[in-house]
Amino acid sequence: MIVVMGATGRTGRRVVEGLLRAGEQVRAIGRSEASLAALARAGAEVCVGDSSDAGFLTEAFRGASAAYTLLPYDLRVEDYRAQQARMGEAVVTAVREGRV
Reported as a single tens digit per residue, the pLDDT across 4-29 is: 999 999 999 999 999 999 999 999 99
Which fold is adopted by the domain 2-98? Rossmann fold (3.40.50)
Per-residue three-class SS string for 31-51: CCHHHHHHHHHHCCEEEECCC
Check residue 36 and give its pLDDT. 96
Check residue 4 and give its pLDDT. 97
Reported as a single tens digit per residue, the pLDDT across 39-74 is: 999 999 999 998 889 999 999 999 999 999 988 777
Q: Is the pLDDT of residue 32 over 80?
A: yes
